[in-house]
């Protein structure tokens, strides 16, 4: 029986690593519904072969949708191994984590949120905690992420990493706590996958009142997606549900004040808003540098976030500036 386009996921040729055993069958698309097998599972990837495809203007290979998780898992495992190598610089480490996280986001796009994706996301958060521990400069980290073309991906990795950094500055030492911050930061916008794609890509300033109301449901939808698995820690669920709340009760969806917010959500809420100011996105014409973003939150917004978390962030930025 022939497979249809709905049963495949496109993978950019740039995502394959040379000399690695491919865990899935690979196909080239020759027409709307025609896919030809070019490599069987277990074969080693061949850079020369891929270059030949590129010369023929083939930008993607295709894998069966039901097998994509295997490719995502391999990408994550390779990133974890590579991160342990001391000879890698910060930019290379960030690139590896970004590459692995992209596979998870693609998995989410094509397969939805399921147990396999959650387990892959857990591995990404371990890599992000390791990335933070190895990165010498927060500015360098965000500079690396600013070049990532997928804005939701770069934003999510940025929020995840910054949440861990702020958590460490607040004195959170348990690895489990830092991993929950990383996980909550990575998945905090997962609910955007449940609203119309055109709305998720629309600037807030161009939305109607009803569109804003629909967009704001993404926090609740994200919580529902995590709860549906039945295994996601309550702390992570709370982070996703409360990441748009703030200390003065002007956030959403519950208008919580600081005293009622989950402690880890207070951290991610600040990291989310800070990352929005320094990483390219649809809502900001010109990004700010780390110091400018800090000053904007402090003097223009009036610090509508948890004061302890903000002081920790300010200390991090100040130290980063001194080290530069």
Q: Splitting the chain (324 residues) into consecutive groups of 10 residues, what average pLDDT does each group show? A: 80 79 91 89 83 78 91 82 73 85 88 89 91 81 88 96 97 96 97 94 96 98 96 97 97 97 98 97 93 96 97 91 64
pTM listed for this prediction: 0.90
Whether the bond into 253 is cis, omega within 30 of 0? yes
For the chain, the structural domain boundaries read: 1-65, 85-323
Res 279: pLDDT: 96
Q: Could you please report the per-residue DSSP string of 55-88?
A: HTT--EEEEEGGGHHHHHHHHHHHHHHHHT-TT-
**Is the separation of the CB atoms in 76 and 120 below 8 Å?**
yes
d(CA 146, CA 165): 18
230-235 contacts at long range (C-beta below 8 A, 24 or more positions apart): 231/115, 231/118, 232/118, 233/180, 233/183, 235/180, 235/184, 235/262, 235/264
d(CA 120, CA 117): 5
Percent of the chain with pLDDT over 90: 60
CATH code at 85-323: 1.10.3210.10
Count of alpha carbons within 13 angstroms of residue 58, beta-carbon side: 20
Res 2: pLDDT: 65
Residue closest to 102 by CA, chosen among 11, 237, 17, 202:
11
């Amino acid at each position: 029986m022939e497979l249809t386009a709905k049963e495949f996921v496109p993978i950019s040729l740039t995502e394959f690593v040379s000399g690695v055993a491919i865990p899935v069958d690979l196909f080239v698309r020759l027409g709307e519904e025609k896919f030809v097998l070019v490599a069987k599972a277990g074969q080693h990837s061949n850079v020369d072969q891929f270059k030949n495809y590129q010369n023929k203007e083939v930008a993607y290979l295709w894998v069966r949708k039901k097998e994509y998780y295997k490719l995502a898992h391999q990408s994550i495992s390779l990133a974890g191994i590579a991160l342990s190598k001391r000879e890698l610089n910060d930019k290379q480490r960030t690139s590896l984590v970004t590459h692995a996280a992209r596979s998870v986001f693609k998995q989410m796009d094509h397969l939805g949120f399921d147990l396999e994706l959650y387990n892959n996301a857990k591995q990404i958060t371990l890599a992000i905690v390791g990335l933070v521990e190895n990165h010498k400069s927060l500015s360098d980290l965000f500079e690396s992420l600013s070049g990532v073309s997928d804005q939701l991906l770069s934003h999510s990795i940025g929020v995840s990493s910054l949440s861990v950094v702020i958590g460490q500055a607040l004195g959170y030492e348990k690895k489990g706590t830092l991993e929950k911050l990383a996980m909550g930061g990575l998945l905090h916008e997962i609910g955007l996958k449940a609203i119309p794609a055109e709305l998720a890509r629309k600037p807030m300033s161009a939305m109607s009142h009803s569109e804003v109301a629909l967009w704001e449901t993404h926090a609740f939808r994200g919580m529902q997606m995590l709860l549906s698995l039945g295994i996601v820690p309550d702390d992570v669920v709370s982070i996703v549900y409360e990441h748009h709340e703030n200390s003065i009760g002007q956030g959403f969806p519950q208008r919580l004040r600081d005293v009622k917010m989950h402690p880890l959500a207070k951290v991610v809420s600040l990291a989310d808003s800070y990352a929005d100011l320094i990483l390219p996105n649809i809502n900001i014409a010109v990004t700010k540098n780390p110091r400018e973003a800090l000053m904007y939150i402090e003097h223009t917004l009036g610090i509508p976030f948890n004061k302890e978390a903000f002081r920790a962030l300010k200390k991090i930025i100040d130290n980063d500036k001194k080290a530069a």
